[in-house]
Structure 1
Amino acid sequence: MDTSCDRTPGTLLEASGARAVLDRLDAELVGLAPVKSRIHDIAALLLIDRLRADVGLQSTPPSLHMCFTGNPGTGKTTVALRMAEVLRQLGYVRKGHLVAVTRDDLVGQFIGHTAPKTKEIVKKAMGGVLFIDEAYYLYKPENERDYGQESIEILLQAMENHRDDLVVILAGYRDRMDTFFGSNPGMASRIAHHIDFPDYSEDELMQIAQLMLAQLNYRFDEPAVPAFNRYVSLRRRQAHFANARSIRNALDRIRLRHATRLFGLNAALTPDQLRTLAAEDILASRVFGDGLREGEKDGH
């Protein structure tokens, strides 16, 4: 047996194109250092597995089914998308596409509806990654007539029989996923990687806002920066805060106020006016007043 290998992990990572995907993940996601570290670890595992196969060492492909836990807006879907690309670049799935679903896409309301729905989604995801958000809603033990268990059984079979061409990622709140796994040991035993996504800090949320604005060709003027910083500080203490998702929603509403303000000027507008968001566009938010009422979602 040849015990040497001309290719290093680094050269294989470069040649496969996976390094470019990982670099893109690092660049487009603020923070999330523990998450990025785990994704790099998984890439390293796959690379070493590939090099072992190249030199004739017997190797069983590693289990790649995962669970992503964390609050909304922490980047779970984006990381799943990049993970699918890495798996394709390294040859572990054929297509590298992401199919994102919820319970409604998998479970039917009547007898005989669930199996075809779940099998169709699995078929659609073959060769890539099946991302099931809020996966714990598949299991409703309080309803003995619920069809979620039928969907789980089909998923378990697919995860076992097609593990060489399908990766399933379950996602949701950590405590609810723990309860789900406790009630579904078959599913728990098939999940090899558990990755927890932390909430963003205020500084990280400000970085995310600046990145989003740059992508849209907008910017804050000087007084707008502390105004938005104050908005973030207040908003993240309110109900239904969803990290980067809430930041995106806030910027959409700020752009709306900015457009309304400029329209009211009824004058020729300069490029700088068209791209510059002012403090007054931010400070008009209801968050600076009495705050959001209990149970009220992102609205202003």
Structure 2
Amino acid sequence: MTQKSGFGFYRPGAPASAGAPGSGTPAAPQPEPETAEPAYLSADAEIDLAHDDVATKVNETLARLDNELIGLASVKQRVREIASLLLVDRARERFGLSTSKPTLHMSFTGGPGTGKTTVAMRMAEILHTLGYLRNAKVHAVTRDDLVGQFIGHTAPKTKEAIAKAAGGVLFIDEAYYLFRAENERDYGQEAIEILLTEMENERGSLVVIFAGYADRMGDLFAANPGLSSRVPHHIEFADYAHDELMEIAELMVEKENFVFDEPAREAFDEYLTLRREKPNFSNARSVRNAIERTRLRQARRLVALDRPITKADLMTLTADDIRGSSHFG
């Protein structure tokens, strides 16, 4: 049977068919569409989850997550568990076993620079691959994108953000700012109430991820029991250990076609010890910033050389490039 394409609307410039507007031909009666029963597998059939095409794509995304992020073993384990749940649900559907879509709204807690945004992006890819979401997009917002400054301003802003995330993931960074206990008239509560409604109504086509510091996120959920009950997955992102930060630095440097010479490696190891003792340390984000400033000092050093430079010169970061940081006093 020939399948129709599109929605059957006449488009100007396309060849007019019988019954189309302007064709001059009366429309022929259209038969009622046939609704075929889904073809389920027989009870004695078998499914190889390990070699399923969809499972292969999911495993590729998980492998990319492993390559992108150092450590975070418990986070990666939870991502794998969610992927496994959806793979099994997909297999159950093929046998005609009734399965309700699980609620996958999440809370990511941890400090800055611990990989929360990266994990959200890979999670969106996995959920899209498994058919849970229509697309793999992540729409990231903060309080300013959701909460208005006057009466009647918050609802359209929040609904606009939800519409942009429709079919994918709405990632709310520093979500605890939505709730301000000291201000009973704060419009953030209105945004939360709208989110609650949409999280329930669209739970099969929208995933909302709330992200922020663990203690402040705890206050947010404690003050909003309805929100807490709609977020079943709480994933903690621990700060990176010193050795993990050093490994992250090595990967970042290699990715940009630079190398630490041995004195530079020792200097950066010392830099990390000093920097982690100072305020506002942001894990991998602070490492990236340190490397960017190291490159600036390397560039200044190379321009000042009174000789031609080589490829090795351009690639090598030295101890002097690192020890030029103000953190060395």
Contact 1:13 1:47 in 2 (8 A): no
TM-align CA RMSD = 1.2
Give the Cα–Cα distance (whole angstroms) in 2 for the partners of residues 12 and 179 of structure 1: 42
Name 2:169's counterpart in structure 1.
Answer: 129
User: Going by fraction, where is helix more abundant, 1 or 2?
Assistant: 1
Inter-partner Cα distance in structure 2 for 1:170 and 1:47: 24
Q: Does 1:198 align with 2:238?
A: yes
1:237 deviates by 1.4
- Counterparts of 1:48 and 1:13, CA distance in 2: 14
Please state whether the residue corresponding to 2:52 is helix, strand or coil.
helix
Which residue of structure 1 aligns with residue 224 of structure 2?
184
The yes-or-no answer on 1:91 pairing with 2:117 is: no
1:258-293 Cα shifts (integer Å, max 9, x gaps): 00111111432111101110000001111111xxxx
Report the Cα distance in structure 2 between the residues aligned to 1:83 and 1:266, rounded to whole angstroms: 51
For residue 166 of structure 1, what is the aligned residue in structure 2? 206
- Deviation, 1:80, is 0.4
Whether 2:120 is the aligned partner of 1:80: answer yes
Match of 1:212 among 231, 252, 256: 252
The corresponding residue for 2:279 is 239
Shift of 1:19: 1.1
Cα distance, 1:40 vs. partner? 0.4
Residue 160 of structure 2 is matched in structure 1 by 120
Seq. identity, % = 58
Q: Equivalents in 2 of 1:21, 1:159: separation in Å?
A: 26
TM-score of the pair, normalised by structure 1? 0.94
Aligned to 1:105: 145
Gaps of 5+ in 1: 290-300
| Corresponding residue number in structure 1 for 2:328 | 288
Q: Which has the larger radius of gyration?
A: 2
Deviation string, structure 1 residues 7-35 (Cα, Å, up to 9, x no partner): 22212365561111011001111000111
| Contact 1:101 1:131 (C-alpha < 8 Å) held by counterparts | yes
CA distance in 2 between partners of 1:132 and 1:13 (Å): 32
**1:122-170: per-residue Cα shift (whole Å, max 9, x none)?**
0000111010011111011211221101111111111000111100000
CA shift for structure 1 position 3 = 3.0
Determine helix, strand or coil for the equivalent of 2:109: strand
Equivalent in the alignment of 2:69: 29
Number of equivalent positions: 289
* 1:58 equivalent in alignment to 2:74: no
Distance 1:66 1:111 in 2: 29
Corresponding letter in the other structure for 2:60 = A
SS at match of 1:17: helix
Whole-angstrom CA distance in 1 between matches of 2:185 and 2:220: 18
Are the counterparts in 1 of residues 253 and 259 from structure 2 also a CA contact under 8 Å? yes
Distance of 2:102 and 2:51 partners within structure 1: 21
**Structure 2 letter corresponding to 1:115:** A
Secondary structure, aligned partner of 1:171:
strand
